[in-house]
Amino acid sequence: MMTASANRAVTYVGPGKVEVREIEFPKLELRDGPGVNPANVGRKCEHGVILKVVSTNICGSDQHMVRGRTTAPEGLVLGHEITGEVVEVGRDVEFIKVGDLCSVPFNIACGRCRNCKERKTGICLNVNPDRPGSAFGYVDMGGWVGGQAEYVMAPYADFNLLKFPDKDQALEKIRDLTMLSDIFPTGYHGALTAGARAGSTVYVAGAGPVGLAAAVGAQLLGAAVVIVGDLNTERLAQARSFGCETIDVSGGAPQDQIEQLLGVPEVDAAIDAVGFEARGHGGDAGHEQPAAVLNSLMELTTAGGGIGIPGLYVTGDPGAADDAAKAGALSLSLGTGWAKSLSFATGQCPVMSYHRELMNAILADRVQIAKAVNATVITLDDAPRGYSAFDSGVAQKFVIDPHGMIAV
C-alpha cells in the first residue's frame, strides 16, 4: 500500500463556479461526502485501485451541473473522464497491476449483476442505491468521487479498467486515448444505435465534443455523408475540418437545409448530441426549448430510421423554463415518431461495449479523435478557466493534465 499524500481536485462550489481544492487522498472505501448516498457510505472497495490521474477531461455533462441546471450539491468533486496510472491495488484485484496505464469507463459497473453480464454496464444494478447506473463525480450517481483530481479510486478494477498494451505508445497517443473514457464511445454509440452504416446519410444535432465524436463515429461506420448542425460557427468550422457537411440551424428548419445538401429533406439516421438545454431553430434559435431537437429529429429522419440520443436528459432541472421540464417531462411529438416507425436509443453509453475496439482504431492510426474535437491540454489549476471557456462555446475539448505527464 502506498503512503497517502496530498490530493487536489476540481470542485463544484455553486452555479457558475468551480474551484481547485484540497481533498482527501483516496482510500479503497467510499467515504461520506457531497452527493454520497448514505447507503454507499463505508462501502469497502478491495476490488478497486488508486490511480495517479494522467489525463481527465472536461465534459459537457459537467457543464450542466456547473451551470446550476441539476441538483448537484456544492462541494461535489467533478470529473468522469479518467485515464490513469495504477499506484495501488486492492486485495481482491487479480489482473490489473501497479504501473499499468488504463482508461476508466465513466460508468461504474460491478460486473456481477444481470445487466453487467448482458453488457449493459451503463445501468449496473449494484453501484448506485438511487437508480440503475452510476458514474464518477456526477449528481445522483451514488457519490463516487470524481477524477478531475491528482488521484482517484476506481472500483471493480479488473472488470472496469482497460489496460493499454504498450505504456510508452499510449503516452504518445494520450490525447486520443483519453477520449475512450466517455466521448468517443458515447458518440460512436449514438451513431451505431441511430443506424449509421456503410453508405448511410447521418445528421448530428450539436457540434460540441460529443457531437463531433458522433460524427467521427458515423464516418468510422462508413456513412456516405455526415451533416452536423449547430448555432456556433466556430464549432461548425471544426466539424468541417474533418469532412463533415454543416448547417447553421439559426437559418431555419434543419430539414430545409438538409434538402439543399442531399436533394431530399431527410436522413437515414439522426443523433441528438445536445440534450435538455436545447434551443429552437430559425427565429427561435435564441430561446431554450428542451424538446426542440428531439422533435426536429423525428421530422427529418426517414420512415423506419433511427435516432440515437447520447445527449443528456435529466429528471431534475431547477433552471428549466416550465414546471414540467423541471421534472424532466418534455412536450414530444411522439405521434410523429410512432407514425414513422422510428427507433430511439437513450441512456448512458455502455463504454465497455466499444472502448477496446476504438482503442485499437486509435493505435492503428485509423482515427484521429483528438484532432477532430480539438483536444487542448491544460493544468489542473487552469481548470476553472477551462470551464469558463468551454461554457462560452469555444471549439475545444479541454484535457486536464494534473501531473504534467502529457508531452507538449
Angle, vertex CA 313, rays to CA 136 and CA 84, nearest 5: 20
Profile the chain (408 residues) by mean pLDDT over runs of 10 residues.
Answer: 77 96 97 94 97 97 92 96 98 98 98 97 96 95 97 98 97 98 98 98 97 98 98 97 97 94 98 89 76 94 98 86 85 94 96 98 98 98 97 96 93
CA-only gyration radius of the chain, Å? 20
* Cα–Cα distance, 260 to 367 (Å, whole number): 29
103: enclosing H helix or E strand: strand 101-104
Beta-carbon count within 10 A of 172 CB: 13
DSSP single-letter state for residue 243: T
Topology of domain 8-182+350-400 in CATH is Quinone Oxidoreductase; Chain A, domain 1 (3.90.180)
pLDDT score, position 156: 98
pLDDT score, position 351: 98
* Cα–Cα distance, 27 to 131 (Å, whole number): 24
Distances, alpha carbon 161 to alpha carbons 93, 149, 153, in Å = 11, 18, 12
* Cα–Cα distance, 115 to 111 (Å, whole number): 8
* Cα–Cα distance, 216 to 372 (Å, whole number): 8
225-230 vs 151-154, strand pairing mode: unpaired
43-44 vs 29-30, strand pairing mode: antiparallel
**Does domain 183-345 sit in CATH 3.40.50.720?**
yes
pLDDT score, position 3: 53
What's the grid cell of residue 314? 435529466
What's the grid cell of residue 81? 473522464
Kindly report, as residue ranges, where domains of CATH 3.90.180.10 are found in the chain: 8-182+350-400
Give the CB-side neighbour count of residue 245, counting CA atoms within 13 A: 17
Sequence-ordered list of residues with C-beta below 8 angstroms from that of 175, at least 6 positions apart, any chain: 55, 370, 375, 377, 399, 406
pLDDT score, position 1: 54
* Cα–Cα distance, 314 to 18 (Å, whole number): 21
Backbone angles phi, psi at 175, to 5 degrees: -65, -35
* Cα–Cα distance, 218 to 140 (Å, whole number): 31
Kindly report, as residue ranges, where domains of CATH 3.40.50.720 are found in the chain: 183-345
Beta-carbon count within 10 A of 348 CB: 23
* Cα–Cα distance, 125 to 211 (Å, whole number): 28
pLDDT score, position 72: 93
pLDDT score, position 316: 83
Q: What are the b/e assignments for 351-370, b being 16+ CB within 10 Å?
A: bbbbbeebbebbbeeebbbb
Q: What are the b/e assignments for 54-75, b being 16+ CB within 10 Å?
A: bbbbbbbbbbbbbebbbebeee
How many whole angstroms from its chain centre is CA 392?
A: 19
pLDDT score, position 4: 57
